[in-house]
Structure 1
Amino acid sequence: MKYPLFASLVASLGIGLSGAAHAVNVDVNIGMPALVVAAPVVIQQGWHGDRYWDGHRYLERNEWEDHNRHHGDHDHCPPGHAKKGEC
């Protein structure tokens, strides 16, 4: 009578441990990478130091003066200078 009781104990222990093994859940979560958003750089038209940005390229002062020469127009004031009170 000892052996059937021992056999049922071992069988119930095995069944119990197999259920416990299925109850343990190990997950490894590697999340999505962070979203990187680059903001566009906006350069406004006008004088930046000693160069003028016209929206497409930088002009040196003499290039800008040659490009914006107004013949006979003495009242012309370059952009940005009127705001500074230079005209």
Structure 2
Amino acid sequence: MFKHLTFSLGLGAIALTLSGAAMAQVHLGVNIGVPAPVYVAPAPVYAPPPPVYAPAPVIAGPGLFIGWHGDRYWDGHRYWSRRNWYARGHHDYGRG
């Protein structure tokens, strides 16, 4: 009985092996289709930091304005004494 079972199992294994080889097929497929949409991230861009400028120094001084400064008159170019200013024919329109 054991011989009979071994022979049957061996014959079945050989039959399965040969039938798999007999069923071998060659498949050739050609697919034409639209590819799926693909997102491509943009390349990184280097942006240098903005330049740092030192603030311009503030120069503050006494403001000079055209007119009388004590007993002298400044006309924008030179100081005049009161006597010379009136002697040249200038008038004092700025005094109230």
Range class of TM-score, shorter chain:
0.3 to 0.5
Radius of gyration: which is bigger? Answer: 2
Provide the TM-score with structure 2 as the length reference: 0.36
Provide the TM-score with structure 1 as the length reference: 0.39
* Higher-RCO chain (CA-CA 8 Å, sequence separation at least 6): 1
